[in-house]
Amino acid sequence: MKRIGFQFKVRADRLAEYKEHHKQVWPDMLAALRETGWHNYTLFMRPDGLIFGYFETEDSLQTAQAKMAATEVNTRWQNFMASFMDADARPDETFVELEAYFHLD
């Protein structure tokens, strides 16, 4: 299992609303994440809107993203979340993968 860390930026003026939507992620989106191999998926937020994401997968970040991109629900979710981004793009198009350099079990 690979550990994947990534970051992206949410607009600071939309943070509260962005977090609220993640309290009620659509059931079909949650199912798609599980079905495409996203395990232990966690999001962390800084007050300025920088998001750190973490998940475990058998695949690379690019492969995991491609599997999700093939689902209809992901397209709907990404389009819905796009207005929250600090870039003119869908959230999944702005992920910057981080290098894992230390782990303690």
Q: How far apart are CA 20 and CA 102, in angstroms?
A: 32
- Sorted by where each begins, the domain ranges of the chain are 2-96
pLDDT at 86: 81
pLDDT at 73: 98
pLDDT at 50: 95
DSSP SS3 for 65: helix
Its pTM stands at 0.90
Could you say which residues of the chain have pLDDT below 70? none
pLDDT at 88: 81
pLDDT at 72: 97
Q: Is 39 a catalytic residue?
A: no
3-state helix, strand, coil in the chain (%, to 5): 45, 25, 30
Catalytic residue chosen out of the listed positions 21, 22, 39, 103: 22
2-96: which CATH architecture? 2-Layer Sandwich (3.30)
